[in-house]
Structure 1
Amino acid sequence: MRLKSEIFVSALVRRVFANGDFAVVERKGAADAGAIAIRQVLRDGQECLFMPAPQFFSAESGEDRLFEQRLDRVPAADVAARLEKEIRFDGDLWVVVLETESVEGLFAVASDGV
């Protein structure tokens, strides 16, 4: 059984705060099964964007929710433009912003080896 989106997001925000960093829900999506986009804001103003990985990778990894990095260290405007397109496609999308230098241990990220 898959964890509800709102519970996953709430737990993610708590983990980030527990690490001494900052997180905010920028956009709420469908409470039960909305897809989740994660914006990582770095100290230098650059951003990374993580989106749900294709189902194939989730099945292979055994993770309930698996993300893939779609944008890496780009200007905030690039991430905003990409999210705008994603929201037009999926109106139930959650957007969570994390101000942290590392997402390691916060959520599962698909690697090239998966």
Structure 2
Amino acid sequence: MRVTSDFFVSALIRRVFSSGGFAAIERKGAAEAGAVFLRQRFRDGYETLYGPAPQSFFEERGEDRLFEVRAERAEPDAVADIIAREARFDPDLWVVELEAEDVAALLDLAEQS
């Protein structure tokens, strides 16, 4: 059974804080099933954006929530543009801002091919 987006985001924020990082909800989406995007900010001003992985990855691995990198160490404006495009397509999405060194330890990431 898949946990709600609200529950997933709440648990993720707790895990980030317990590992010494910072997290905040930038955009609150649908509590039950809104897509979750994670915006990792770095000290040098760049950002990495993680978004839901395509459905085909779920069939292979059977994960509850699986993420993929949508933009890696990109300019903040480029990440904001991607989020704006996604929000036009799905207005119920969540955006969580993270300041954590190792996001891969907090998430299940799809294998990059």
Q: Any gaps of 5 or more consecutive residues in structure 1?
A: none
- Report the 3-state secondary structure (helix = DSSP H, G, I; strand = E; otherwise coil) of the residue aligned with 2:105: coil
Matched with 1:36 is 36
Q: Any gaps of 5 or more consecutive residues in structure 2?
A: none
1:57-103 Cα offsets, whole Å, 9 max, x none, are 01211110000001000111110011011101100000000011220
Question: What is the TM-score when the length of structure 2 is the normalising length?
Answer: 0.96
- Aligned partner letter, 2:10: S
- Aligned partner letter, 1:4: T
Q: State the number of aligned residues.
A: 113
Relative to structure 2, which stretch is displaced further, 65-74 or 100-109? 100-109
1:24-52 Cα offsets, whole Å, 9 max, x none, are 00001010000000000011110000010
Runs of 4+ in 1 over 3 A off after TM superposition: none
The answer to whether the Cα contact below 8 Å between 1:46 and 1:75 also exists between their aligned partners in 2 is yes
Aligned-residue Cα RMSD (Å) equals 0.9
How much identity, in percent, do the aligned residues show? 56
| Alignment pair present for 1:4 and 2:4 | yes
- Please show how residues 9-88 of structure 1 align to structure 2 within 5 Å: 9-88=9-88
Cα distance between partner residues in 1 of 2:103 and 2:27:
20
Cα distance between partner residues in 2 of 1:20 and 1:101:
9
